[in-house]
Amino acid sequence: MQYNGSLFTYKPFFMKRIYPFILTIFTLSACSNDTQQASDAAKAEFDKKQTKLEKNIADQAEQDRPQFEIPAIDYTSPVAKVDLNNDEEIVASVGLPVVEKEKGSNQNGEPMKTYYFSDDLRNGLELSLSREFVDVAWKYDSNDLAKSNAVFEAGQNITRALLGGKDGADLYEKIAKGSKFESISLDDGTVIQNARCGTSVCRYEVVR
């Protein structure tokens, strides 16, 4: 009788222990499934937003670039690379007469001299030279294709002269097709900053 009593006493004790354990397993399993589903949903939502963001960036790049066929690079006419610290050599490499010069300051307050190669405010190349930078910009009016082509050819020439034939050609083509670069380091150590084209101007600066 003592044995049977002990058995009957033990059985309820065992069941009291096993029921909560089983319930815990079911609960954890349900929570795990809910967590996985929530994780999958969150990932799907993230992927959707990422795809939309990438499309918006691509659409913006398409809008923020010249909306006409830019002049192709003329590799039959080699361009000599200039000394980045020689202002006279840089200005002469443009191959156009300077129509106006202006003194000012760059973004860091350093003295700067800007050279204009056109009296047309909507179509023309500008060079701004300071101790720190060579700033290049060419403005263009896409409604005047002849003038725009001439300005892009000037931009192409000065870019190849500053960076070298291949690197200059690469940068010219990339920004003209919508690419934007905060900073690029070339193999020779030259650094280009803020390179981009908009719907009416292309620009970049070379660190001296």
Mean pLDDT across 109-135: 96
Give the N- to C-terminal CA distance of the chain in Å, as an integer.
101
Q: Are the beta carbons of 184 and 151 closer than 8 angstroms?
A: no
The mean per-residue pLDDT over the stretch 124-142 comes to 97
- Bridge partners of 191, per DSSP, are 185, 207
State how far Cα 101 lies from the chain centre: 32
Lowest mean pLDDT among 31-40, 51-60, 190-199: 51-60
- What is the rounded CA–CA span in Å between residue 201 and residue 208? 23
More confident residue, 167 or 27: 167
Contacting residues for 140 by C-beta, under 8 A, at least 6 apart: 66, 122, 123, 147, 148, 151, 152, 200, 201, 202
pLDDT of residue 21: 62
- In the chain, where are the structural domains located? 1-63, 87-207
The half-sphere exposure of 48 on its side-chain side, counting CA atoms within 13 A, is 6
Instruction: Examine the pLDDT at 155 and tell me if it is beyond 70.
Output: yes
Cα–Cα nearest to 156, from 193, 111, 125: 125
Work out the average pLDDT over 118-141: 96
- pTM over cut 0.85: no
